[in-house]
Structure formats: C-alpha cells, structure tokens
Structure 1
Amino acid sequence: MTTTPHPLAAAPFRTVSDMLRLHADAQPDHPALRDEAEALSYGELDALVDRIAASLQRDGVRRGDVVGICALNSVRYGAVFLGALRAGAAVAPLAPSSTSDTLASMLSDSGAKLWFTDAAADVSALDSSLPCISLDGIALGRMFDPWLATAGSKPQRVDVVPGDAFNIIYSSGTTGTPKGIVQSHGMRWAHVQRGAANAYGPQSVTLLATPLYSNTTLVIFFPSLAYGGSVVLVKKFDAARYLRLAEQQRVTHAILVPVQYQRIMALADFGTHDLSSFQFKFCTSAPFRADLKADVLARWPGTLTEYYGMTEGGGICILDAHLFPDKLHTVGKPAANSDIRLIDEAGNEVPAGEIGEVVGHSTGMMTGYHGQPEKTREAEWFDPAGKRFIRTGDVGRFDEDGFLTLMDRRKDMIISGGFNIYPSDLEAQMRAHPAIDDVAVVGVASELWGETPVAFVVQRKGTLETAAEIKDWFNQRAGKTQRLADLILVDELPRSAIGKVLKRDLRDAYAASLSAKPSI
C-alpha cells in the first residue's frame, strides 16, 4: 500500500504528550481511547491526563522520577501512562502476572515514587509504605477517583529532552531475573516517526490485545495516538471475541504475536467475519512460522508486516510479507537507520553467508539496564571503529538478497557430540506430521553427548498417535545427530504473556523428572 509521507516523518523532536494536546485542540470530540467499559474523546483524554499529571506533581513527583503501573489494559491505564509523561516522570509498566516477590523487586529496582494497580496484581509481599492508587476500586491503596485532582486542574509544564527516560520496561526474556530496560523519549519519538509509513491518522482504528507493559504494544500504542487515531484496548485476548470486536469497530491497524494469529486463523468461522476494514497488520515478539504468515496473507485483508528486534533496541529487521511472499521464512531486511551485523563467538564479524550472532545499532537503542552497568556492558558489542551495538542472543544468517533468517536463540542451540543443532530446524521438520499442532525442542543434559534434543508436542485434536510413534516417525527422517532422545506429549506449551515459548520451564521440568528415567 503506497502512502504519502507524513510531515511528522521528518519533524523535529516532540513529546507524545504534546501531540495529544494538539489533537485535543484540533479534534476534541474525536474518539481517542476506549476499552470494554469506558471511552474517551481526545478532549476528554487530554483533560484527564492533565488531572493525573497535576495529581502526581501534587504528590511530589518531579522530572526524572518513576511511576509504576501494574494492571490489565484499560483506558485509565493509558491515561495514567500519559499523565506520568506529562508530569515529566518515566513509567515502569509491570506485568500483573509477576509473582508478588518479583513485583516487589521491580518496584524497588525502578525507584518508583508511587504506583498504580488493579485486582490482577499479586500484592501479598509488597511494601505497604509505597503509595499506591487503585485503578479499579478493588485493589489496595487509595481509590483513583478521590485521589484525582479536581476537574480543570492543570499541571506545571515540564520540558523534557530526547535523552530523558520515557519508560523502564522489565524484561527477563525467558531466562531469569527481570532487568529494567531504560528507553528514552528520543527512542519513542523515533517510533512515532517510523509510524508515518503506516497511515496512522484520524481515520485509523488500532486494536490492541497485547499488554501495555510490553514494548510490542507500546510501539503501536503511542504512534496511533500521536497521529490522532482511535485506540481500542482489550484486557485479555480471546480469539473469537477479538474477531467480533475487530468487525464491530471497523479496525484498520492491529498488532498480534504469532500465537494469537495462530489461534485466530484456527477458528472455524474465521471466514464469516467482515475484516475488509483492515489496512495494516503487524507481528513481532516471537518466531512467526512461514506457513502461518502465508495463511494470514491468503485469508485476512490488508498488509502483513513482521518486525524483528529487541526491547533493548539495537536495530530492527522488517519483512513486508505481502511484498515478498518468497521470503516468508525470513524476518526481512534491516530497516532504514538500522545497522545489523553477525559476529562469531570471539566477537569478530563473520563472512557473508555464514551463521553468527545478530547484533544491531540504531537510534532506538536502550540507554542501558537500570542500575545494572555490568549487565549493560554484557549486552553491548563495539565494532573496530567504536560503534555501539546491542547483542540479541539470536543466531542467524543473511541470504544473497540481504534477508535475515534466524536459526535460534544462541542459548537454545544444542551442542550434541560437538555438532550444533538448531531446535527451530527440528521443530519445522516435526510440524510436517499431521498429528502435531505445536512443538518445542530443547536441549537437555546427556552423559553420552553433552546435550541431546527432547521434543514437547501438543497433538491436534482427534489424533491418536502415541509419543513413541511420533518420535520414531521423526527419528527415521532426521540426521543422526538430530535424533530425539525423548518426546513428551503436553496439553500446551508454556508461554509468556507475549507468546514466547518458555523453554527454560520445559528444560527445568524435564530435568526434575530425570531421576525416574535412565541416563540418555
């Protein structure tokens, strides 16, 4: 789809808060933000953001302070995020699925002056001395409405600069203790400018069914509002309800993670929904199978764009799947202003066509991990000229056309008998079996080989094959070093809130069961 370049694409730095104010002045009655229970126009949202910012300043929040939010998606959540920014604060959006101990650790690490929550958060281990405001009237702390400054209240203006912290996103990936990723106003403004190519505007309606604590959501949420579009928030994803809402709201823009696309496309009544309003669909955060991309392209109107990158920044690759149907096995080419390279274990760039760890540089890089300079240094790589890159931990290879194919996470690569085994290769081969609905392969300790692959399989409904039968089918077709040591049937694969398979959980569960198994 060809679009005329938007003036914001080359505009000097502005804040998202200032963009909201401009739209409130120009189109005060235009729908801005809605959820299942509440809807606000731009004028109403801007006024609420003013009241929130004034309330935060009244409570001692100053430029550079941090405000925490731990809740499900809602209009109030979005307004609080924007209000904190208008007050000059950075936001720490936290996952309500976190354990109470982890939540307490993240709040402490962020240095939040106060925080907002709802009934979805586990607060059993929290320090009650930290001021808290309840967004839903159910959670602990002061109720939102009585806390809020009176109607018409205005905050003191705070002039932020591109280097000021915008948010601290806590990401443990799938591997351990959460690390606070500090992202700047400049980085978010780069995302807004990049959004100029996606035809956001007063005519656009963006449906968000991923959580606001995820960078996946924020890279679409803020550009949608910065260009004056309408945003619809969903608290919890349900495939059937998502389609009904998309049809009802005449949605034009959406971002989903691969497992959400998978569940939507599997619905028997998918074809009965009128999705003709869709113009742009996006995907990120987890591996997106080529066959699933092809299915979305064939049956769902509008473009399909996959973004590959990290919350830490460091450049992105973009695959416009609708333009390159022969490259669906890749994650596309480096975006403009993204420098993506591949390095070996020694930190040297690999020759063209060879496999290496993906590192990237862009204007959208994190400042660093909050309060963890050593972790920040571990995540950095510098080229011989001193240019700073962020290490992704992913292993990939560029093809002759400059498209990047990902092999696996470096930590997930299996070294068995001295041979490198990429679980994604095995998973792709296994999906050819008609009884397999979903699969994850992990490496487990082996006395004979150092590591050996084990598969966890979700069967398609109605199939009757045993684990042994599926394992034998695969091993007869696999190379000698790729053969499975074990195959476990499971009801579902453990996933994070944004759809990443938690392979660490699978490895840990398998290791715990090894005492009852013979050595492998």
Structure 2
Amino acid sequence: MQLSVATLLSDSARRHPDRVAVVEGEVRLTYARLWDDVLRFAAVLRARGIGHGDRVAVLLGNTADFPRAYYAVLAAGATVVPVHALLVADEVAYVLRHSGAKALVAGGALRPVAEAAAAAAGIEVLEVSAGEERLPRAAESAATDIAAVLYTSGTTGRPKGALLTHLNLVMNATVCAGDLLGLTPDDTVLGCLPLFHSYGQSCAMNATLRAGAALVLLPRFSGPAALDTMVRERVTVFMGVPTMYHALTEAIAHDDRRPAALRVGVSGGAALPVALLERFEAAFGTEILEGYGLTETSPAATFNQRATGRRPGTVGHPVWGVEAAIADPERERRVALLPDGEVGEVVVRGHNVFAGYLDDPEATAAVLVDGWFRTGDLGVRAEDGFLTIVDRKKDLIIRGGFNVYPREVEEVLARHPAVAQVAVIGLPDPARGEEICAAVVLRHGATATAEDLVAWSRERLGRHKYPRVVRFLSELPLGPSGKVLKRDLREAGA
C-alpha cells in the first residue's frame, strides 16, 4: 500500500490552497505557497542525489523552515531525522553518524553547531531554499517505509533512533486531528512545543496541517509571549506540557487580556497535576484534555476524549485503533496482563507502535514483546477503562521496603497554596534504602518553610509516603519539551 506523510500537506494544499497554513511572526504562508516551497526544496534534494533509502537530518528551530524541510525530505522520498536543537556539536555528530544521514539541513542560530557536527560526520550542510525546478508531485512511499528516525532523550547511555513508519505518523495525525480534537480549517493551533520532538511534530504540526488549520509557531516559549500570541492570533487550541500551563497561569494573573477564542488545551509529555489543571481552567475558562504517549507510540496512545469522557488526573482511553493494558512488570520476556485495579507496566499495541530501534535488535526485542510495546511506565486501569499513569518504573521510590510513587506525593504538594511547581525524587539513604525528597519552586510572593510542607504532606499521606527532605529551588531543570529532568535532581541531591 502506498502512503506518505507528505500527503498530509499536499491534500490540504489541494483542498485549501488560499488558507493560512503556517504563521511565524509577520510571516503567513498559505497552503499553496508552503507546498510549492516544499516541492522546490525537494527538487534541490533530488538534484543532490537524495531519494529513497536515504536519510536527511534536520536541525532547525520552531520556524517556518522546519515544515518546509521536513515535508521536502519526505516529498523527495527520503527519511527525515529531526535533531534535538539543544545538542552540542559532538552530540549532533553522533546522531548524524548513527543515522547514516546523507546531508544536514540547518540554518539560523543553529548553523555553527550544524557545520561543526557535519564536518565531523563528513556530510554537507544545506539551507532551506527554493530552487528553480519543482517536483511535479511527492514521491510514492510504502506505508511500512520508514518516514522518520526520532532519537530518544538518551537519559541512560547513548540515544536510540526510533523508527516511525509513514503509517504510524499518518494515522497518529489523522486520529489527533479528527477523533481527539475535532480540528477544522477554522482552527488556529499554537505550536510552542519543539517540532523536533514527537509531540510537537505529530500532534501539533502534522495534525494541524492534516486538518487544513493554521499552525502558529512561537520560536521561544514564555508565558507572557504565549499569552500575547494567543490573544493576537485568536488561537483556538493550545498544546503544551505542564510547565507551559504553569507559565501561562502565572502570566494571565498579571494581564487583563483573555484569549477569548481558546476552546481547548491539550497536555502531554508529563503528568499534569490536577491542582494546576484546575487553576488553568478557572483562569482561562476552558478545559484541558490530557493524553499519554511516547516517541515509540508516534506519540498519542491514550487521551481524554469526547467520545469516552474526561476524568482529570487520568490520561483517558486508548485512541482509535490502539489497545492499552497493564502487565506484570517483573515478567520481562513475556507480557502477562493484570486485571483492572492493579498497578503494573503500561503496554500498548496498534497502528501507532514503532518499527523498532535503528541497528539495535537487542533494545528492540526488550520492548516489543508478544506483540505489545512495553512503555516502562507504571499505571492502573479502572473498570470503566480510564488509565492513570502512576510513574516511570525508574522513578519509583522504595523507602524501607515500601513502594512510593512520586506522582502521588507531587499531587498533594501541588495543592499547597505556596507551591508553584514540585518534583519528588528518591535520595540514597543508608537506613531506609531511599528517602523521599521534594524539590519545590514557590509561587511568586509566597512563603513556606520545609517544616510547613512536611506537615502539609504528613496530614494527607501515609507515614511511609510523605517527604522528610524539602529543597527549595528557583526553578526546576527542564528538558527541551518542558519535562522535569529528575535525573539531574538526583545527581545534584536536589
């Protein structure tokens, strides 16, 4: 079966040629113009001998050049390798060599890093350009061909290249645009998420362009800048991670303007504290739909959907065509499913599950077991199907022989009136194995002592769960997608 991610854009360009596809500052590209730019840059790639079987890396920020380059690589029939924009040259060079990239597309402030990395890998750097020639149409690809290689964050060892097929990405964009969000050409989606990340790339960019809606890009996120953009561009859908929702909630507290067109927020990438969800919904007068997924699941796997209902604190039900279940986390070589109500490892199967890790059969075999993808996340499913993510397996704290899930502690501390953000980790302890530590950022102008927060937690949690150690920070360490880097907190002793 022939299927290409490039058709997400080409079909919308055919149906909505004069509608705005991408907004970046003063730049407004119609679908017809964007698709023309894509086919012209695809012709440039073809002229350099790039086609089926080749991989092209893309190192660009959240600018209009990202969709131009991304879809041009796919239209040329090649595989796109989006590169993390915060990597140093040596790390980029590793991705280039490991992926076997034939060229690197880069520009702007990232050009120096790109040139150093490309030189080390022995490949050329290309700028996004529109040549005189234009491909007549996008190259055909099989549904099972690899469309993108997305590198994981590499929290343990070198990052791995997740192989996502055209079917994976087309289905995920289609489900997100239709069943989950009901996007129409009248919608305007704010894309603050990094486009090199699976969430921003698939759920924001691909889904928006699949629906013929407008994608507004914000190259550098801040709460005030995002709020200003939402008001100015009449944004109807905001997609972000919990730290972005926190920043927006803080921003709107000091701004009289309201984004009147906003109809829904989408949260993913990390667990959203219910207290933060409630504060945002009260301030913005809209609802947040929380979802769940990983790079290896394209990424959307489960979602709070209109068809199945919404329950704050959960990640909803599996998206169309996907199954999610709970398995015994101790049975690594087989998937032994557990009944509803028991905590175990979340496993997923369906059209969204990736094709494996590039040149790493051992790592692939460890996560693709009995037809299921083992996520490494602990969760529990209610009898009515709602899935709750308890925590990452690696973040589980074992204090004195008792399991403590950091998210449960974080939810309690997030409700303290002085707490803006919190992350809970386990620190080595000679007597109990691990001790519970809360890293806390206080709300602007608020005061609280460690003793205050310990007492608050002790009243609301079991004796083995409340934190004995509280560290106050000015900010939490964040990854490029806004996820809290708990490894950094553990290494620093919080």
TM-score normalised according to structure 2 size: 0.90
1:369 equivalent in alignment to 2:354:
no
- Distance in 2 separating the partners of 1:75 and 1:483: 47
* 1:307 and 2:291 correspond: yes
Read off the aligned partner of 1:90 and give its amino acid letter: T
**Equivalence map 1:257-296=2 (5 Å):** 257-269=241-253, 272-296=256-280
Which of 131, 148, 164 is matched with 1:183 structurally?
A: 164
From 488, 501, 513, the equivalent of 2:484 is 501
- CA, structure 1 residues 477+261, in 2 after alignment: closer, same or farther (shift >3 Å)? closer
Residues 303 and 321, structure 1, Cα contact 8 Å, conserved in 2 = no
Separation in 1, partners of 2:67, 2:313: 35
Q: Matched residue of 1:266: which SS?
A: helix
- Paired position in structure 1 for 2:20: 31
Q: Distance in 2 between matches of 1:202 and 1:232?
A: 13
Structure 2: distance between partners of 1:393 and 1:351: 18
1:126 to 117, 122, 126: 117
1:385-404 superposed Cα distances (whole Å, 9 cap, x missing partner): xxx11111111111232211
**CA 1:446 to 1:269, structure 2 compared with 1: closer, same or farther past 3 Å?**
closer
1:423 matched to 2:406? The reply is yes
**1:7-406 paired onto structure 2 within 5 Å:** 14-121=3-110, 122-123=113-114, 126-128=117-119, 129-134=122-127, 144-145=128-129, 148-150=130-132, 152-154=133-135, 158-172=139-153, 174-194=155-175, 195-197=177-179, 198-219=181-202, 220-269=204-253, 272-301=256-285, 303-313=287-297, 316-320=301-305, 324=309, 327-344=311-328, 345-346=330-331, 347-382=335-370, 388-406=371-389
Q: Specify the alignment match of 1:465 in structure 2.
A: 448
Task: Return 433-442 or 351-360, whichever deviates more.
Answer: 433-442
Amino acid at match of 2:168: M
1:176–1:448 Cα change, 3 Å: same
What is the CA distance between 1:369 and its match in structure 2? 1.1
In the alignment, the residues of structure 2 paired with residue 14 and residue 201 of structure 1 have an alpha-carbon distance, to the nearest angstrom, of 22
Unpaired runs of 5+ residues, structure 1, are 1-11, 135-143, 383-387, 512-520
* Aligned partners of 1:430 and 1:439 also within 8 Å: yes
CA distance in structure 2 between the aligned counterparts of 1:274 and 1:28, rounded to whole angstroms: 31
Indicate the SS of the match to 2:261. coil
C-alpha distance in 2, partners of 1:25/1:470? 57
**Contact 1:210 1:256 (8 Å CA) reproduced:** yes
Q: 1:448 aligns with which of 426, 431, 440?
A: 431
Please tell me whether the aligned partners of residues 227 and 252 of structure 2 are also in contact (alpha carbons under 8 angstroms). Answer: no
Cα distance in 2, alignment partners of residues 482 and 473 from structure 1: 12
The code of the aligned residue for 1:243 comes to: L
User: Take 1:478 and 1:49, find their aligned partners in 2: how far apart are those partners?
Assistant: 55
What letter matches 2:87 in structure 1? Answer: S
Equivalent residues of 1:13, 1:189 under 8 A apart:
no
2: CA distance, partners of 1:352 / 1:20:
41
Quick one: which amino acid aligns to residue 472 of structure 2? Answer: L
* Residue identity opposite 2:117 in structure 1: L
Report the equivalent of 1:516. none
Partners of 1:26 and 1:483 lie apart in 2 by 56
C-alpha distance in 1 between matches for 2:417 and 2:213: 43
Q: Is the 8 A contact 1:13 1:186 kept in 2?
A: no
1:192-249 deviations in Å (ceiling 9; x for gaps): 3312233333322222011110111122211221232222111011211212212222
The question of whether the paired residues in 1 share the 8 Å contact of 2:242 and 2:482 is answered with yes
Q: Structure 2 vs 1, CA of residues 470 and 193 (structure 1 numbering), >3 Å: closer, same or farther?
A: closer
Distance 1:58 1:491 in 2: 51
Distance 2:27 2:138 in 1: 28
Separation (CA, whole Å) in 1 of partners of 2:100 and 2:85: 18
CA distance in 1, matches of 2:258, 2:414: 30
Structure 2: give runs of 5+ residues left out of the alignment. Answer: none
Distance in 2 separating the partners of 1:463 and 1:247: 28
The structure with the larger Rg is: 1
Which sits farther off after the overlay, 56-65 or 345-354?
345-354
Q: Distance in 2 between the 1:410 and 1:59 partners?
A: 46
- Alignment partners' CA distance in 1, 2:306 and 2:241: 15
Read off the aligned partner of 2:369 and give its amino acid letter.
W
Q: Secondary structure at the match of 2:123?
A: coil
* Contact 1:97/1:120, CA 8 A, preserved across alignment: no
Q: Distance in 2 between matches of 1:44 and 1:170?
A: 30
CA deviation vs aligned residue, 1:455-501 (integer Å, no higher than 9, x gap): 21112233343335534554566433224342211111111111211
**Structure 1 runs of 4+ off > 6 angstroms?**
none
Residue range with higher mean Cα deviation, 60-69 or 190-199: 190-199
Residue pair 1:192, 1:226 contacting (<8 A) in 2 also: yes
Change (3 A) 1:414 1:53: same
Residue aligned with 2:304, SS: strand
Q: Distance in 1 between matches of 2:234 and 2:26?
A: 18
Matched position secondary structure for 1:506: helix
Distance 1:300 1:433 in 2: 21
> Is contact 1:297–1:322 with CA below 8 Å preserved after alignment?
no
Q: CA, structure 1 residues 36+415, in 2 after alignment: closer, same or farther (shift >3 Å)?
A: same
What one-letter code is carried by the residue in structure 2 that aligns with 1:182? L
